[in-house]
Amino acid sequence: MSLINTKKMFEKAYKGGYSIGAFNISDLEQLQGVLRACKEKNSAVIIQASKSAIEYAGINTLVAMVKAASDEIGVDCALHLDHGPNFEMAKKCIDAGFTSVMIDGSHLDYEENVAITKEVVEYAHSKNVSVEAELGVLAGTEDDVTSDVHKFTDPDQAVDFVNRTGVDSLAIAIGTSHGAFKFKGEAKLRFDILESIQAKLPNYPIVLHGASAVDQEIVATANKFGGDIAGAKGIPVEMLRKASSMAVCKINMDTDLRLAMTASMRKFMAENPSQFDPRKYLGAGRDAIQAVVSEKIDIVLGSKDSL
């Protein structure tokens, strides 16, 4: 087993009409939960870490841990930098052993986004590493960056961007958002934009960020056992499944895993007040991650037997 880039994964996913799940991790239990689910479902997977997760866990610890867990559990996976803020961070991850990086220049002027993406692509491709970029702006909060409004991706600009940068995949804004509070009213995704991009960039892998479904039962469990998570609302799973059957080849889900882990650990601790072995409550969190990822593979991604 080894860490692989996303090229073949995306080719197969595009042809097969499914998506690869990209799950954020920052510790051992999350990592094992995700990989165990993928082993059980025989599913391809992308493990990703943001800048703040890397700061939390330590870059070399993360790389070594993902390599070792991939080997021990028996699932080839990509290790991807989520929302790389600049060239230096992307280079640092590539040099440390990441097999895929995102350079997020979506908040920059268009020409600056093109320039920084091109710079990362040149370096990454020389090391056989895949690159994801972003065009358009998602509402919500991701690490240090917050936006109140969506700025939907312009399909013609997407074509120009891909041609000029040579980037391997593109995250687009069609109405998904970061965090647990995605919609005030009805959920709405701009499938017309996705269709237009698919028509103009045939066979090109598209990425959706901010695509957690925010299961109300899990939120209720967290709140029942002392949590205070109000008004959380995510993307309906049917919409995500539809996107997976189109050009979307990678779907990022972070919030759903955080909620599942938190709810199960709160429940475990409330029900076992005398227990103080961390393996017991962290283990409950790990099982919850495994269960939620298995469910995503079946009902959102469609990636069962894609390994």
3-state secondary structure of 172: strand
| Main-chain phi, psi angles of 236, to 5 degrees | -60, 135
| Main-chain phi, psi angles of 176, to 5 degrees | -75, 160
DSSP annotation of 152? P
- Return the number of the residue (99 or 255) whose C-beta is nearest Zn ion: 255
| Main-chain phi, psi angles of 89, to 5 degrees | -65, -40
Name the minimum Å distance from CB 171 to Zn ion.
7
The helix (H) or strand (E) run that includes residue 22 is: strand 20-24
- Return the number of the residue (73 or 213) whose C-beta is nearest Zn ion: 213
Which residue bears the tokens 């440390």? 96
Could you give the string, one character per residue 103-142, with x where binding to Zn ion holds by CB under 5 A and - elsewhere? ---------------------------------------x
Distance (Å, rounded) from C-alpha 95 to C-alpha 92? 5
Name the minimum Å distance from CB 71 to Zn ion.
28
Which residues, 6+ apart, have CB-to-CB distance to 132 below 8 Å?
6, 80, 100, 101, 102, 103, 167, 168, 169, 170, 171, 207, 250
- Return the number of the residue (80 or 209) whose C-beta is nearest Zn ion: 209
Name the minimum Å distance from CB 252 to Zn ion.
5
Name the minimum Å distance from CB 42 to Zn ion.
27
Find residue 207's DSSP bridge partners. 171, 250
**Contact window for Zn ion (CB under 5 A) among 56-64, 122-130, 204-212, 296-304:** 204-212
Distance (Å, rounded) from C-alpha 22 to C-alpha 155? 24
**Contact window for Zn ion (CB under 5 A) among 105-113, 206-214, 266-274, 282-290:** 206-214
The site that binds Zn ion (CB under 5 A) totals a number of residues, namely 2
**Contact window for Zn ion (CB under 5 A) among 46-54, 182-190, 209-217, 237-245:** 209-217
Lookup: tokens for 66:
């993902």
Is 82 in the active site? yes
Q: Which of 71, 76, 82, 298 is catalytic?
A: 82
Name the minimum Å distance from CB 60 to Zn ion.
24
3-state secondary structure of 258: helix
**Contact window for Zn ion (CB under 5 A) among 36-44, 94-102, 208-216, 276-284:** 208-216
Q: Does 209 bind Zn ion (CB under 5 A)?
A: yes
Which residues, 6+ apart, have CB-to-CB distance to 64 below 8 Å?
none
- Return the number of the residue (165 or 176) whose C-beta is nearest Zn ion: 176
**Nearest-CB residue to Zn ion?**
209
Catalytic residues: 82
Chain residues in the site for Zn ion (CB under 5 A): 142, 209
